[in-house]
Amino acid sequence: MKTIGLIGGMSWESSKVYYEYLNRMVNERLGGSHSAKILMSSVDFAEIEKLSFAGDWDAIGAIMAEHAKKLETAGAEMVMLGTNTIHLVSDFITQAIDLPFVHIATTTGEAIQKKGLKRVGLLGTKFTMEKDFYTKILEIDFGLEIVVPSEEERQLLQDIIYNELVKGIFAEASKDKCLGIIKKLKQSGAEGIVLGCTELPLLIPGNEVDLPTFDTTKIHSQKSVDLALA
């Protein structure tokens, strides 16, 4: 079994889910008392959040590269970044280390392709929905058409994520708002929904959505476990 290096803390609410998924998935595959070999380097999310809103992505990239190098030095055999949004600076990571990097958008694209879908709705932070670092992988590498919510709805999602979800607040009212956004995406022709923020599946259970949903945290974890056990 290879050792998985996880850059976490963005937010720790989702990082604990990553830790659970990675261990459960390894145990399901190997049985007995088996668990995953994991190294985690966790950031202070307040610093990352401040730099994100300031648009200082180079500074964030430098921080991510530093944590990736720590994991490599500590003995990780692959690196994953436990967040969707900060994959915006994934190039900083791949340039800093000589290890395989498991990209969350690529693993999500593979999962959508397996379902045979062509047009999917994307929910996440404004950075994920509005910048092209995520959508271009889904569009160019997997031939998908991506539908995003309206500008007002994108701001609503941003507020829910940063003011509630990353702080461990999962309000029923916010879930209902997200389900309303998903309903509109379905009316726009979306065949499935990408929950493109690692905290969103904690708010929106897939069984409450009448479209196929793609839990990026779970998909990302499964791919990393597949590589670790290959």
* Per-domain boundaries in the chain: 4-103+218-229, 105-215
Indicate left, alpha or beta for 27 from its phi (over 0: left) and psi (-120 to 50: alpha).
Answer: alpha
Diameter of the chain measured on Cα atoms: 49
Beta bridge mates, 5: 39, 79
Going by pLDDT thresholds of 50, 70 and 90, the confidence category of residue 56 is very high
Which pTM value belongs to this model?
Answer: 0.94
pLDDT in tens, 134-167: 999 999 999 999 999 999 999 999 999 999 999 9
**Does the annotation mark 73 as catalytic?**
no
Class of domain 4-103+218-229: alpha beta
| Position 15 pLDDT exceeds 90 | yes
CB 17 within 8 A of CB 198: yes
Q: What is the pLDDT of residue 152?
A: 97
Q: In angstroms, rounded to a whole number, what is the distance separating the alpha carbons of residues 1 and 78? A: 11
Percent of the chain with pLDDT over 70: 100
Catalytically annotated residue among 106, 125, 197, 217: 197
So what's the architecture of 105-215 in CATH? 3-Layer(aba) Sandwich (3.40)
Which of 109-118, 203-212, 219-228 is predicted least confidently? Answer: 203-212
**Does the annotation mark 83 as catalytic?**
yes
Catalytically annotated residue among 83, 106, 125, 135: 83
| Position 187 pLDDT exceeds 90 | yes
Identify the H or E element spanning 42: strand 38-42
Say whether 105-215 and 4-103+218-229 share the same fold: yes
Q: What is the pLDDT of residue 34?
A: 98
Phi then psi for residue 67, to 5 deg, are -70, -35
Q: In angstroms, rounded to a whole number, what is the distance separating the alpha carbons of residues 159 and 10? A: 16
Residue type, 44: D
Q: What is the pLDDT of residue 118?
A: 97
Q: Look-up: residue for tokens 């990736």?
A: 68
The dihedral sign for the CA sequence 36, 228, 198, 73 = positive
